[in-house]
């Protein structure tokens, strides 16, 4: 494993890390927690750039958003009172669902997103929160909505860049709101067969003012469900409406067959899991369906 690696760097600044990435060309790879890079063990890699000493492990309130440094670990997210209090704790719940305790002590939020897996557990809650990612390369920084970051399995908008931080706007508190994150995997510590994050905001009469639904492991990238959201938004929240929205989820996903599950099973689980998540949100908002 990695017997072709010739250089391992541990830079102290983002600028140094970006320079090393450029110097290493196609054969250089960033390593954060290493839980994906080391398992993948790509034999073409000659240079590893460890980014864990760049000071990118933080969770900060900046204005009306939470800003999370890329090397913040899953364990830090799940233990953070701020992240547990953000939108019903959907991001903390997703972090707590990532593999074993040992994995979560190593695995970083940035690595989970930058790896580009359709099953990345932190992606659906961050999509539901309409988060953005901040990337830094030789030409400076740019900010991108997370929804535009994923392009294909294992592919993202990252060029020779570092994912520096993730910015999650704080949804308003109070009123009739609910949030849910649910993961369905083969075992407690397995990668998702399907995951879902959802949020509902209702008005005083029980009509849906806003709906957010995002899914993992059901398409080439983690993705939002605007069709299902539109079915709910503006309508009275009834069991029939919810069922229509879940049917739309099942239509809009494009799962694959793999070792974990056949595509048609995933489609059905997507429908069922979206329904459970929406009912959990509705219940928090004071509606039992």
Ligand X SMILES: Cc1cc2nc3c(=O)[nH]c(=O)nc-3n(C[C@H](O)[C@H](O)[C@H](O)COP(=O)(O)OP(=O)(O)OC[C@H]3O[C@@H](n4cnc5c(N)ncnc54)[C@H](O)[C@@H]3O)c2cc1C
Q: Toward ligand X, which CB reaches closer, 95 or 245? A: 95
Judged by CB under 6 A, the stretch of 26-34, 142-150, 224-232, 250-258 that binds ligand X is 26-34
- Residue 145, SS3 per DSSP: strand
Q: Does 29 bind ligand X (CB under 6 A)?
A: yes
Residues 133-172 that bind ligand X (CB under 6 A): 158, 162-163
- What residues form DSSP beta bridges with 66? 61, 168
Angle between the 263-284 and 239-252 helix axes, to the nearest 10 degrees?
150
Task: Supply the minimum distance, in Å, between the C-beta of residue 111 and ligand X.
Answer: 2
Residue 53 CB neighbour total at 10 angstroms: 13
Interface residue with ligand X, options 92, 166, 168, 191 (CB under 6 A):
191
Least Å from the CB of residue 121 to ligand X: 4
Task: Tell me how far, at minimum, the Cβ of 50 lies from ligand X, in Å.
Answer: 9
Among 24, 88, 89, 111, binds ligand X (CB under 6 A): 111
Is 96 among the residues that bind ligand X (CB under 6 A)?
no
Q: Tell whether residue 30 is a contact of ligand X (CB under 6 A).
A: yes
d(CA 288, CA 239): 9
Instruction: Fill in the per-residue mask, 42 to 81: x = in contact with ligand X (CB under 6 A), - = not in contact.
Output: ---------x------------------x-----------
Shortest Å distance, C-beta 89 to ligand X: 17
Q: In the complex with ligand X, which residue's Cβ is closer, 131 or 191?
A: 191
Contact between 133 and 114 (Cβ < 8 Å): no
Binding residues for ligand X, rule CB under 6 A, total 30
Confirm or reject binding of residue 35 to ligand X (CB under 6 A): yes
Minimal distance, residue 240 CB to ligand X, in Å: 34
Structure tokens at 131: 């988060």
Nearest-Å Rg of the Cα atoms of the chain is 19
* 114 near ligand X, judged by CB under 6 A: yes
Of 125 and 171, which CB lies nearer to ligand X in the complex structure? Answer: 125
Does 124 sit near ligand X (CB under 6 A)? no
Q: Cβ 237 to ligand X, closest distance in Å?
A: 30
Please say whether the beta carbons of 140 and 162 come within 8 A.
Answer: no
Q: How far is the CB of 36 from ligand X (least distance, A)?
A: 3
Q: Which residues contact 218 (CB under 8 A, 6 or more apart)?
A: 118, 194, 253, 254, 255, 266, 267, 270
Secondary structure element (H or E) that encloses residue 208, with its range: strand 208-216
For residues 99 and 107, what is the distance between their CA atoms, to the nearest angstrom? 9
Q: Residue with CB nearest ligand X?
A: 111
Gap between the terminal Cα atoms of the chain: 52
Q: How far apart are CA 196 and CA 212, in angstroms?
A: 10
Strands 47-50 and 140-145: unpaired
H-run or E-run covering 90:
helix 90-96
125 binds ligand X, rule: CB under 6 A: no
Which residues here bind ligand X, judged by CB under 6 A?
Answer: 29-37, 39, 51, 70, 98-99, 103, 106-108, 110-112, 114-115, 119-121, 158, 162-163, 191
């Amino acid at each position: 494993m990695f017997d072709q690696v010739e250089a391992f760097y541990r830079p102290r600044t983002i600028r140094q890390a970006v320079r090393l990435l450029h110097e290493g060309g196609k054969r250089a790879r960033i390593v954060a927690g290493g839980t994906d890079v080391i398992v993948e063990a790509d034999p073409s890699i000659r240079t590893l750039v460890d980014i864990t000493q760049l000071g990118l492990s933080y969770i900060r309130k900046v204005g009306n958003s939470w800003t999370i440094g890329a090397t913040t670990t899953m364990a830090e997210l799940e233990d953070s009172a701020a992240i547990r209090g953000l939108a019903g704790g959907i991001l903390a719940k997703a972090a707590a669902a990532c593999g074993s305790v040992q994995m979560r002590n190593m695995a970083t939020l940035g690595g989970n997103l930058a790896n580009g897996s359709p099953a990345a557990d932190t992606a659906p809650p961050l999509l539901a929160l309409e988060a953005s990612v901040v990337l830094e390369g030789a030409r400076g920084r740019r900010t991108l909505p997370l929804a535009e970051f994923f392009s294909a399995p294992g592919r993202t908008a990252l060029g020779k860049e570092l994912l520096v931080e993730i910015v999650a706007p704080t949804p308003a508190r109070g009123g009739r709101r609910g949030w849910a994150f649910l993961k369905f995997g083969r075992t407690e510590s397995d990668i998702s067969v399907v995951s879902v994050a959802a949020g509902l905001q209702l008005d005083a009469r029980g009509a849906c003012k806003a709906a957010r639904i995002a899914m993992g492991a059901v398409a080439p990238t983690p993705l939002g469900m605007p069709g299902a959201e539109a079915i709910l938004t503006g309508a009275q929240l009834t069991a029939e409406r919810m069922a229509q929205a879940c049917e739309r989820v099942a239509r809009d996903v494009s799962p694959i067959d793999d070792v974990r599950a056949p595509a048609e099973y995933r489609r059905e689980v997507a429908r069922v899991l979206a329904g459970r998540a929406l009912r959990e949100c509705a219940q928090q908002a004071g509606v039992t369906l």
